[in-house]
Amino acid sequence: MSIPEIPVLRQGRVYESLQKNEIKSVRTGETVAVVHQANAGLLRRDMRRIGEARRALRALPIARLLAISAQAGDLFMGGTLPLGAGAQSADEYMSQLSETSGLPYALIRRNMAKIHQVFTEMPTILKGLTRGMDLGVVDCGSGEQAGVPVSYYATTDALGVVLPSNSPGVNSLWMPAVVLKIPVVLKPGREEPWTPFRIIQAFIAAGCPPEAFSFYGTDHEGSGAVMDTCGRALIFGDEATVQRYAGNPGVQVHGPGRSKILIGKDEIERWPEFVDLIVASIVDNGGRSCVNASAVVVPAHADEIADAVARKLAAIGPRPAADATAQISGFANPKMAEFIDGAIEKDLAVPGAHDITARYRTGPRKVLLDGCTYLLPTVVRCRSFDHPLANREFLFPYASVVEMPQEKILDTIGPSLVVTAITHDPGFTDQVVGSPHVERLNLGSLPTTRVQWDQPHEGNLFEFLYRRRAIQRAA
């Protein structure tokens, strides 16, 4: 089979660039695909006529876009869709993505199912985003909600998204924008052009105007152009990225999640019952999501909990890509694994932390399988939340276990994307519910990774893309 070439899409129009990036198999080093690269100037030039794309989307009623989305979901899951000059079946998508990202098929299938759900559960998602508003308001700009007149206008003609390569699931964040009639301008992650391109093709095949989709493989300057020229943009990055865009209302930054599991004093004696939940929160999706738990904070039994979790995590190792039991992902860039491993080892030298999983591993944390580099799941017992490893997030299953008095927990743990709080204590529950640092709250025995579609987190996309205006009409 010839190597697929993934073109640039300029408001749906295929453009073959003279500049191309090869993406290679993480296992064999062979070229798996060629991604056409747009120069920043081209991208900026296209953005001057993005209004046309918005008009094309606005011409369709939202009911039609919802139907398109549902149909696109099925096409995404099972259809054969265009990929450059050729086509791509669902199985091909899975193997190609696995080759360049290191994700095993089992995790890809789960991500596919998640994306399918976003396509098909779009009415529920929009209901959550708009708090049950009649979606006809998106069609005509005004209407009523709970008996009160409302009017919304779009804050932008396009949503720019600079995507990471870590997990296909992140694409679920921008998908509702299309149904909300806001064109998307996507810059794929270097090793993961597959998922956004396939989602786009599914939307188009189901009847969505191609103009709604811009897809630019590009460099750092091009990413900057996406951020600068789209009125609204999503970006994924580290703390530095978060700081860079802090205070910019046009940019929603998805930084480290630092999601946590808290167990109250009232439930802590039942800790053995929660070990599986903790393990799932750390390992689901290969531990690569911002909703994965990266710290477990408890008022007692931290040593025992860390030990029990470590025993379970130590049983999880790399498996061949097609193995249905595979739970962790390889690294597309082995240097990243090396860097993470080195950072953990360096901080373990700071007194007050021990790698508990090391007791149950037979070798180093960094291992190779079929030419691909993996980091084995790791639990570190930290004596204090001030330890450099206590509140860290890495691109593999990693968590710390820290013990502290319940009264101090919420003042200490800082911002968290997801908190699972296991407690029935009304006082502690009240404290957690009242915390301004918790974006998404799971009360009770729910893994941090459990997502409910009518409960948006990390900013509300509808409120990001639309602004409410006061409206009154003469009688």
Q: Which of 14, 21, 24, 37 binds another protein (CB under 8 A)?
A: 37
Q: Which is nearer to another protein, 238 or 386 (CB)?
A: 238
Regarding 39 and contact with another protein (CB under 8 A), the answer is yes
| Shortest distance, position 17 Cβ to another protein, whole Å | 5
Confirm if 157 and 193 have CB atoms less than 8 A apart: no
Regarding 19 and contact with another protein (CB under 8 A), the answer is yes
Q: Given phi > 0 = left and psi -120 to 50 = alpha, else beta, which region is 296?
A: beta
Regarding 41 and contact with another protein (CB under 8 A), the answer is yes
Q: What angle do CA 96, 43, 245 make, to 5 degrees?
A: 85
Q: Which is nearer to another protein, 221 or 430 (CB)?
A: 221
Q: Which is nearer to another protein, 44 or 190 (CB)?
A: 44
State how far the Cα of 172 lies from the Cα of 110, in Å rounded to an integer.
13
| Shortest distance, position 53 Cβ to another protein, whole Å | 18
Regarding 17 and contact with another protein (CB under 8 A), the answer is yes
| Shortest distance, position 26 Cβ to another protein, whole Å | 20
Q: How far is CA 383 from CA 36, 279, 380, 403, 431, in A?
A: 49, 20, 10, 7, 24
Regarding 18 and contact with another protein (CB under 8 A), the answer is yes
Q: Which of 24, 44, 437, 450 binds another protein (CB under 8 A)?
A: 44
Helix, strand, coil tally for the chain in percent (to 5): 40, 25, 35
Regarding 80 and contact with another protein (CB under 8 A), the answer is no
Q: Which is nearer to another protein, 48 or 335 (CB)?
A: 48
Q: Which of 45, 49, 408, 468 binds another protein (CB under 8 A)?
A: 45
Q: In sequence order, what are the residues at sequence separation of 6 or more whose Cβ sits closer than 8 angstroms to the Cβ of residue 61? A: 139
Q: Which is nearer to another protein, 49 or 359 (CB)?
A: 49
Stretch that binds another protein, among 33-41, 149-157, 335-343, 391-399 (CB under 8 A): 33-41
| Shortest distance, position 225 Cβ to another protein, whole Å | 10
Q: Which of 1, 2, 29, 48 binds another protein (CB under 8 A)?
A: 48
Stretch that binds another protein, among 12-20, 25-33, 136-144, 332-340 (CB under 8 A): 12-20
> Which H/E stretch holds residue 10?
strand 8-10
| Shortest distance, position 44 Cβ to another protein, whole Å | 7
Q: Which is nearer to another protein, 21 or 145 (CB)?
A: 21
Q: What backbone phi and psi angles, to 5 degrees, belong to 404?
A: -160, 160
Regarding 240 and contact with another protein (CB under 8 A), the answer is no
State how far the Cα of 92 lies from the Cα of 85, in Å rounded to an integer.
15
Q: Which is nearer to another protein, 47 or 308 (CB)?
A: 47
| Shortest distance, position 464 Cβ to another protein, whole Å | 22
Q: Which is nearer to another protein, 45 or 359 (CB)?
A: 45
From residue 199 to residue 228, the character string flagging contacts with another protein as x (rule: CB under 8 A) and all else as - is -------------------------x----
State how far the Cα of 44 lies from the Cα of 447, in Å rounded to an integer.
42
Count residues contacting another protein (CB under 8 A)? 11
Regarding 51 and contact with another protein (CB under 8 A), the answer is no
Regarding 42 and contact with another protein (CB under 8 A), the answer is yes
| Shortest distance, position 128 Cβ to another protein, whole Å | 36
Q: What's the gap between Cα 394 and its chain centre? A: 14
Terminal Cα distance for the chain, rounded: 68
State how far the Cα of 175 lies from the Cα of 458, in Å rounded to an integer.
15
Q: Which is nearer to another protein, 44 or 301 (CB)?
A: 44
Regarding 248 and contact with another protein (CB under 8 A), the answer is no
Q: Directed axis angle between helix 122-130 and helix 62-78, to 10°?
A: 130
Regarding 89 and contact with another protein (CB under 8 A), the answer is no
> Which H/E stretch holds residue 399?
strand 398-403
Sort 288 into a burial class: Cβ within 10 Å, 0-12 / 13-18 / 19+: buried
Q: Which is nearer to another protein, 219 or 347 (CB)?
A: 219
| Shortest distance, position 7 Cβ to another protein, whole Å | 13
**In DSSP terms, which residues pair with 262 in a beta bridge?**
297, 421
Confirm if 286 and 328 have CB atoms less than 8 A apart: yes
Confirm if 189 and 133 have CB atoms less than 8 A apart: no
Q: What angle do CA 168, 173, 177 make, to 5 degrees?
A: 125
Q: Which is nearer to another protein, 42 or 65 (CB)?
A: 42
| Shortest distance, position 49 Cβ to another protein, whole Å | 12
Could you tell me the two tokens for 415? 């911002």
Classify 310 as helix, strand or coil: helix
Confirm if 259 and 394 have CB atoms less than 8 A apart: no
Q: Which residues bind another protein (CB under 8 A)?
A: 17-19, 37, 39, 41-42, 44-45, 48, 224
